[in-house]
Amino acid sequence: MVFLFTIIRVALKALGLNKMRSILTMLGIIIGVSAVIAMVSIGQGAQATISEQIASAGSNMLFVTAGSYNRGGVRSGAGTSSSLTVEDYQAIARDCPAVRLASPMVRTGAPVVFGNENWSTNIQGVNTNFLAIKLWEMDTGTFFTEQDVSSAQRVCVIGRTVANNLFVGQDPVGQEIRIRNSPWRVIGILKAKGQSGMGQDQDDTIIAPYTTVQKKLLGITYINAIMVSAVSQAATGVAESQMNDILMQRHHIASMEDADFQVRNLSDMAELANNSNQVMTLLLASLAFVSLIVGGIGVMNIMLVSVTERTREIGIRMAVGATGGDVQFQFLTEAVVLAVFGGILGVACGVVGSKLISDSLGWPTLVSSPAIGMAFSFAGAIGIAAGWYPALKASRLDPIEALRYE
Amino acid sequence: MSANAMNAVQELVRGSGNTAGVGPEVALIEVVDLHKYYEMGDTRVHALRGIRLEIRRGEFVAIMGASGSGKSTFMNLMGCLDKPSAGTYLLEGTNVADLSRVELAHIRNERVGFVFQGFNLLSRTTALENVELPLIYARIRARERRRLAQEALLKVGLGERIHHVPSQLSGGQQQRVAIARSLVNRPSILLADEPTGNLDSRTSVEIMQVFQELNERESLTIILVTHEPDIAEYGKRIITFRDGQIVKDQPVLKRRIASEMLANMPPVED
C-alpha cells in the first residue's frame, strides 16, 4: 500500500513534468470517453421518449390509413389515397367487437391567424372519441360535442404550442381565429403532451370536427385514416384482423397484397422506431469506442517514447534496487493515471456535452450511470492495455546498458 | 541449510558489522576464478579471466587499470548489476551467480551502494528525493524515508540545499547527494566508479575525505575504481587490473589523508 501511494505520486510527478504532452495524450481519452457518453445518452434519450410515447399514446391504439406504402414504391404515401370513407369507419365501429372506440381522421396543414399573429400548424379532423383514444385531456375549456360534429360547426381545440404562439398574454378560449379566411372559434386547450417518439411536437396541432374539416376546409368526402382503440392491449391483434376482414370485404379485395389500406399497430411502430434507434445508438457508440481506442493507442505511443527517453532514469532506479516488476508497475501506473484522469475529464465533458446537445438541438438525452461506468472502466482498461507493453519493455532493460544510455 | 536459516546467518554477519571487534577473518567478498565473457556479434570478448580475490569488512580498496582492463566489468559484477559467466562470487556468503534478477535487485537495494562518475541523480528531483529513492524500493514509509535521507545527507556534509534539484548544485554537492543515496540503506559495501572523474582536484579531495570518514567512523567497506594513482592512494589497498586479470594487489604504504591534504591546499579563489 505504501509503495502504491508512492508510485502514484511518482507517476503524477512524472506526468506533471511534461504537462503539455500529458494533456494532449489525455485529450484522446477525453474525446473518446465523452463521445461514448454523449452518443449513448442521445440514444437512450430517444429510446426513453419512445417508451414514454407508447405509454402516453395508449398502447391499445391502432391506425387504419388509406393507400399502402410498402408496394415497392408504386403506390406510396399512406393516407393520401381516397379509398377510406366514413362508411368504413362506421362499419368498423359497429362490427368489430374488439374495437372499443373509433374515430375517422382527416388531416391538413394551414396557416392560422389571430390578430397580428400567425402560425402554421396541422389540423386534424376527428370525432368526439379522440381524447379517449389518444388518452389525452383538456387543459381549459371543453372538447367539441356530437352536435358540433353532426352540424359541422367551425369550432376547434388547440394544442399548447399553438396557444403559446398565437395568443400572447390572452386566454384563447372563446377567441376567434382564422383558418384559410374563415372564422373558427377556439373552445378549449389541450394539455401539453410533449414530443412524440419521432421528435414531433404533438402540441403543435389543432383538433376540429372531421365533418367541418372535410366540408369547410378541404371539400372532400373521404377520410385519411381511422383511429381505433382496442378493448385491451392484448386485443390489438384481434382488432387488427377484424378490421382487415371488414375492410377487405367492403373494398372487394381478395388478398392482403392488393389492399388499398393499411392497419398499423402503434406499439409495432414504436418498436420499429426503437429498433432502428438502437441500431443507430450502437453504431454511434461503436464509432465513439473506436475513438477511445485511438486515444489508447496515443497513450501507448507516448509511453513508449517516455520509456526510451527515461532509459537512464530506469537504469538508476534499477541500480538502487528497483526490480523489473517495480519499474513495470511504475510505468503501468503512469499509463493508468493518464487514462483514468482522461476518463474523469471525459465523463465531465460527456455529461456537459449531452446537456448542451439537448439544450441547443432539442434532442432528448439521458445520461445513464451504466454508460458512465462503462466508459470510465473502459478508459481504465485501455490505460492498462496501452501501458502494458511499454512497461514490460522498461522492466526488461539491462541496468548496465540503461545506465550508460545517453 | 534452509533459506530462512541462511538469511538469519547473513543477518547475524551483517549485524555484527556495525559492532566493534569484527573478526578480520570474515570475508565480505570472496571471488574465486571469476570469468566474464561478452558476445559481440561473432566475436567473444573475454573481459575477466579468472579473478581470485577476497575483501574483508572495513577495507578501502582502490581498483586501478587502464580502460579495457576489466575493472568496470568487475565493478558491475561486484555491484550485482551483472552475473558472472563462470566462477563464484560470494557476497556475505551468498553466491550471486545463483540468484534471479529480482534477488539481484534486492541485493543492490539492501547491501550495495553505488556512486558513479556521472553522479546519476534523477534530474528535476530534489536532493532529498534522490536520496530517498532506494528506500522507496525497500518499501519504507514516507516519514521514515525522509528522516533517513536527511540523516544520510548530514553524514556527507550536506545539511542545506537538500530541496534543490541537481542542476542547482555544484558537481561536488551532486556527488555528495549520490554518496548519501548510496549510504541511506546502510549497505555492506559502497562501490564507487571513478567518483572524482568529473570533479576538479580540490573537490576530488573533499569527496575522498567523505569516503575516508565513512570508512573510519562507520567501518564501511569501500571499493573505488579509478585510473588516477593519487586518488587510489587515499585507499588502504590497491588492486591493479590488466587484460582481465589482477596483476598487482598490495597495501598502500604511504597513504594519503584527505583532511591533511585539504589543510595544505590553497583556499578556493573566487
* C-alpha A47: how far from chain center: 5
Question: Do A126 and A239 share a domain, yes or no?
Answer: yes
Query: On the CB side of B125, how many CA atoms lie within 13 Å of its CA?
Result: 21
Confidence at residue A59, expressed as pLDDT on a 0 to 100 scale: 66
**Chain A contact present for B121, CB below 8 A:** yes
Distance CA A120, CA A118 (A): 7
Confidence at residue A72, expressed as pLDDT on a 0 to 100 scale: 46
Confidence at residue A73, expressed as pLDDT on a 0 to 100 scale: 46
Q: Are B142 and A400 inside 8 Å of each other by CB?
A: no
Distance CA A233, CA A37 (A): 35
Confidence at residue B25, expressed as pLDDT on a 0 to 100 scale: 55
The domain boundary, picked from A235, A259, A283, lies at A259
**Chain A contact present for B139, CB below 8 A:** yes
pLDDT of B230 higher than 60:
yes
Confidence at residue A142, expressed as pLDDT on a 0 to 100 scale: 92
Q: Are B137 and A326 inside 8 Å of each other by CB?
A: yes
Q: Are A400 and B81 inside 8 Å of each other by CB?
A: yes
The mean-pLDDT minimum among A76-80, A380-384, B43-47, B50-54 falls in A76-80
Distance CA A317, CA B120 (A): 10
Chain A contacts of B76, Cβ < 8 Å?
A: 400
Cell of A331: 510505468
Distance CA A173, CA A185 (A): 8
Distance CA A352, CA A16 (A): 26
pLDDT of A74 higher than 80:
no
| pTM higher than the cut 0.95 | no
Tell me the pairing of strands B94-95 and B86-91: antiparallel
Q: Are B120 and A319 inside 8 Å of each other by CB?
A: yes
Residues shown for chain A: 406
Chain A contacts of B142, Cβ < 8 Å?
A: 2, 5-6
Q: Are B105 and A326 inside 8 Å of each other by CB?
A: yes
Q: Which residues of A touch B (CB under 8 A)?
A: 2-3, 5-6, 10, 17, 312-313, 315-326, 399-400, 403
Give mean pLDDT, residues B242-264: 92
pLDDT of A267 higher than 80:
no
* Residues above pLDDT 70, as percent of chain B: 89
Query: On the CB side of A372, how many CA atoms lie within 13 Å of its CA?
Result: 13
Tens digit of each residue's pLDDT (9 = 90 or more) over B98-112: 899 999 999 999 999
Confidence at residue A56, expressed as pLDDT on a 0 to 100 scale: 64
Tens digit of each residue's pLDDT (9 = 90 or more) over B165-185: 999 999 999 999 999 999 999
Question: Do A129 and A222 share a domain, yes or no?
Answer: yes
Confidence at residue A343, expressed as pLDDT on a 0 to 100 scale: 92
Question: Do A305 and A237 share a domain, yes or no?
Answer: no
Distance CA A108, CA B70 (A): 99
Chain B contacts of A394, Cβ < 8 Å?
A: none
Query: For an interface test with A, which of B74, B101, B177 has the most A Cβ atoms less than 10 Å from its Cβ?
Result: B101
What stretch of H or E contains A147?
Answer: helix A146-150
Task: State which residue of chain B sits closest to A314, comparing Cα positions.
Answer: B122
A248 located within any domain: yes
pLDDT of A196 higher than 80:
no
Q: Are A324 and B109 inside 8 Å of each other by CB?
A: no
Instruction: Write down the number of H helices and E strands in chain A.
Output: 13, 10
Q: How far is CA B167 from CA A80, A216, B164, B171, B196, in A?
A: 84, 93, 8, 9, 18
Question: Do A196 and A253 share a domain, yes or no?
Answer: yes
The mean-pLDDT minimum among A88-102, A147-161, A193-207, B253-267 falls in A193-207
Contact of A154 with A217, CB cutoff 8 Å: no
Which residues form the domain of A141? 82-259
Q: Enumerate domains of chain B plus CATH numbers.
A: 57-81+100-264 (3.40.50.300)
Q: Are A319 and B81 inside 8 Å of each other by CB?
A: yes
Distance CA A182, CA A81 (A): 26
Distance CA B162, CA A37 (A): 47
Distance CA A130, CA B94 (A): 95
**Chain A contact present for B38, CB below 8 A:** no
Task: State which residue of chain B sits closest to A18, comparing Cα positions.
Answer: B124
Chain B contacts of A10, Cβ < 8 Å?
A: 136
Task: State which residue of chain B sits closest to A16, comparing Cα positions.
Answer: B124
Residue scoring higher pLDDT (A196 or B225): B225
Query: On the CB side of B17, how many CA atoms lie within 13 Å of its CA?
Result: 24
* Residues above pLDDT 90, as percent of chain B: 71
The domain boundary, picked from A259, A290, A309, lies at A259
Tens digit of each residue's pLDDT (9 = 90 or more) over A307-330: 999 999 999 999 999 999 999 999
**Chain A contact present for B114, CB below 8 A:** yes
Question: Do A243 and A112 share a domain, yes or no?
Answer: yes
pLDDT of A122 higher than 60:
yes
Confidence at residue B4, expressed as pLDDT on a 0 to 100 scale: 55
Give mean pLDDT, residues A95-109: 91
Provide the ipTM. 0.88
For chain A, what is the mean pLDDT?
A: 87
The domain boundary, picked from A199, A230, A259, lies at A259
Contacts of A32 (CB under 8 A, 6+ apart): A288, A289, A291, A292, A293, A294, A295, A296, A342, A346, A379
Among the partner-chain residues A5, A323, A399, the one whose CB lies closest to the CB of B81 is: A399
Question: Do A303 and A343 share a domain, yes or no?
Answer: yes
Confidence class of residue B21 from pLDDT cuts 50, 70 and 90? very low
Tens digit of each residue's pLDDT (9 = 90 or more) over A229-253: 988 877 888 888 899 889 888 888 8
A326 located within any domain: yes
A74 located within any domain: no
Into how many domains does chain A fold? Answer: 2
Confidence class of residue A273 from pLDDT cuts 50, 70 and 90? confident
Phi/psi at A374 (5° precision)? -65, -50
Confidence at residue B19, expressed as pLDDT on a 0 to 100 scale: 42
pLDDT of B236 higher than 70:
yes
**Chain A contact present for B103, CB below 8 A:** no
Nearest-CA distance from A317 to chain B in Å?
7
Among the partner-chain residues A3, A316, A322, the one whose CB lies closest to the CB of B120 is: A316
Neighbours of A129 (CB within 10 A): 17
pLDDT of B14 higher than 60:
no
Chain B contacts of A17, Cβ < 8 Å?
A: 124
Tens digit of each residue's pLDDT (9 = 90 or more) over A1-57: 778 888 998 899 889 988 999 999 999 999 999 998 888 888 888 888 777 766 666
Question: Do A240 and A284 share a domain, yes or no?
Answer: no
**Chain A contact present for B36, CB below 8 A:** no
Confidence at residue B17, expressed as pLDDT on a 0 to 100 scale: 42
- Residue entry with cell 510505468: A331
